[in-house]
Structure 1
Amino acid sequence: MRPDVELRLPVDSAYVSVLRATTVSLAARLDFTIDDIEDLRIAVGEASAMVLPSATEGSDLVCRYYMRPGEVSITVAVESEDPELPEEEGFAWQVLSALTTETSTTYENGVFSVTLTMNSTVSL
């Protein structure tokens, strides 16, 4: 499935603010509430913090947005040779789980990704 929006940025935590700002703009276009938007902004920051330490030097931080009315799925991914998979009992994972409808991680073909899905709390 082709993403509605895809960003490729250098693997550097300085660029996470670009992902957060993009997330805010896209969620607002989907008529998410202010609270939902803030939760997504925080979740994208946490997902980025999870994948960045595992990134292969010189690779890209890739963020893909899949949008449907009342729902957005965001995948934050990096190339990695040896990812540090998050512990489901860890603080960061608990934050993501609390802020989103669904959260998952994958590592396949040398790519480590965290996927977040959120459904708007607004009834459509």
Structure 2
Amino acid sequence: MPETQRSETGAAELRAPVELRVAAELTQLPVLRAMAETITLLNEFNLDEISDVKLAVDQICSELIGDAVDGAELVCRFQLGGKVLWVAISTSTRTAEAPDRQGFGWHVLRTLTDSIAVDREPLDTSTAGYRTTVELTKVKGGA
């Protein structure tokens, strides 16, 4: 998410980001879910919000991992500013269509988060993949 959007919602309170880099493999999902849970728990999100973030991170990571190029790395970045948690998850995908924004999973993601967006870079011939980033926000206490 652009810094200008973040600064409008409390730049004075922006905390240092936490970033986790793992192999883009399904075996890493428990680690990513645990990180999402720990960050939201330590920042006093309520139980429903914690569950929402965990489920959203799990769903996004699962979809990106399913379309990741061989040997890709998945990067999960969390940043808190005031009551807003920003999460950006990225990897190199084989296709330009991941994640599917027309399906039921995307509808669930829109329900679990306060905002969600996908950014995709053009094909990188060195990795034979599209750098795909899904960004979401969750507001503590509701929007």
TM-score, normalization: structure 1? 0.89
> What does residue 89 of structure 1 align with?
102
Contact 1:8 1:62 in 2 (8 A): yes
Superposed CA RMSD in Å reads 2.0
Q: CA deviation at 1:54?
A: 1.9
> What does residue 27 of structure 1 align with?
40
Alignment: residue pair count: 123
TM-score, normalization: structure 2? 0.78
SS of aligned partner of 1:74: strand
Task: Report matched runs for 1:14-93 at 5 Å.
Answer: 14-93=27-106
Distance 1:93 1:59 in 2: 23
AA at the equivalent of 2:134: V
Percent of matched pairs sharing the same residue: 28
Gaps of 5+ in 2: 4-14, 123-129
Query: Could you say which structure has the larger radius of gyration?
Result: 2
Q: CA deviation at 1:49?
A: 1.6
SS of aligned partner of 2:135: strand
The 4+ residue runs of structure 1 with deviation greater than 3 A are: 86-89
Contact 1:32 1:122 in 2 (8 A): no
SS of aligned partner of 1:40: helix
